[in-house]
Chains A and B, each alone.
Chain A
């Protein structure tokens, strides 16, 4: 089965410090990977995706993600965290078992940026 794992329930980081949110994947074939962010009482917002090509993917709000095939990881990063980055972050992978645009989501990581 296609799946992603987000090993940490919560990530605490001081404002201005680098932020990393971890995601590992398990797929058969080439992975299509996604990051979404959810602010309180809102729906999920698309941040970025990796389909093929450059292993470093740039997305919205200054976020980027690094695809690492040997470590089966797709970690989300931001060089300098803002208090407004406090949110719930979801990693997702295209579910290749189904042909019709299905994604499998991780359980989410709560990010708390401390002023």
Chain B
């Protein structure tokens, strides 16, 4: 999976609790992304980063925040998890000058 790890790989949590997912890359790529995958919706972009401390919202950013303090790490935080955030979350990376994205293995999050 192109030098990308995600942690945890599985998590079960309760409504109202904060959750942080971590994406770590060893490729030194500039761009990093967080997507969620849901049946019938394909992949939807939550947030992305175009450099350290540079982030922007995607199409489904409500209820999520991100941080990128180092090139290799991109964190996704659910401040107060809701059942609608039950999903599979994928991190992706891409290099400057190319649009090809490479994906991590995913995190399956269940909010009860």
Q: Check B74 for interface membership: any CB of A closer than 8 A.
A: no
Which residue of chain B has its CB nearest to the CB of A49?
B100
| Contact A45-B103, Cβ < 8 Å, known A101-B31, A101-B50, A101-B94 | yes
Determine whether the beta carbon of A100 is less than 8 Å from that of B56.
yes
Task: Please classify the interface of chain B as helix (H, G, I), strand (E, B), loop, or mixed, using the class held by over half of its residues.
Answer: strand
Tell me, in angstroms, the Cα distance from A100 to B101 when the chains sit together.
12
Which residue of chain A has its CB nearest to the CB of B29?
A101
Determine whether the beta carbon of A103 is less than 8 Å from that of B101.
yes
Which residue of chain B has its CB nearest to the CB of A42?
B105
Which one of A13-21, A75-83, A105-113 is at the B interface? A105-113
Tell me, in angstroms, the Cα distance from A70 to B69 when the chains sit together.
45
Chain B positions 17-52 with a Cβ under 8 Å from a chain A Cβ: 31, 40-45, 48, 50
Q: Name the B residues within 8 Å of A103 (CB-CB).
A: 99, 101
Tell me, in angstroms, the Cα distance from A112 to B90 when the chains sit together.
23
Which one, B31, B100, B103, contacts A43 given CB within 8 A?
B103
Give how many A-B residue pairs fall within 8 Å (CB-CB).
52
Q: Name the B residues within 8 Å of A43 (CB-CB).
A: 1, 4, 90, 103-106
Q: Name the B residues within 8 Å of A44 (CB-CB).
A: 43, 90, 92, 103
Tell me, in angstroms, the Cα distance from A100 to B48 when the chains sit together.
9
Tell me, in angstroms, the Cα distance from A78 to B84 when the chains sit together.
37
Which residue of chain B has its CB nearest to the CB of A108?
B42
Tell me, in angstroms, the Cα distance from A49 to B90 when the chains sit together.
20
Which residue of chain A has its CB nearest to the CB of B43?
A105
Which residue of chain A has its CB nearest to the CB of B106?
A43
Determine whether the beta carbon of B50 is less than 8 Å from that of A100.
yes
Q: Name the A residues within 8 Å of B48 (CB-CB).
A: 100, 102
Closest Cβ of chain A to B103, distance in Å, is 4
Tell me, in angstroms, the Cα distance from A108 to B100 when the chains sit together.
18
| Contact A32-B42, Cβ < 8 Å, known A43-B106, A102-B48 | no
Q: Which residues of A contact B (CB under 8 A)?
A: 32, 34, 36, 41-46, 49, 90, 94, 100-103, 105-108
Q: Which 10 residue pairs across A and B have the least CB separation, nearest first?
A: A43-B103, A107-B42, A105-B43, A44-B103, A100-B50, A101-B31, A94-B99, A101-B94, A43-B105, A105-B42
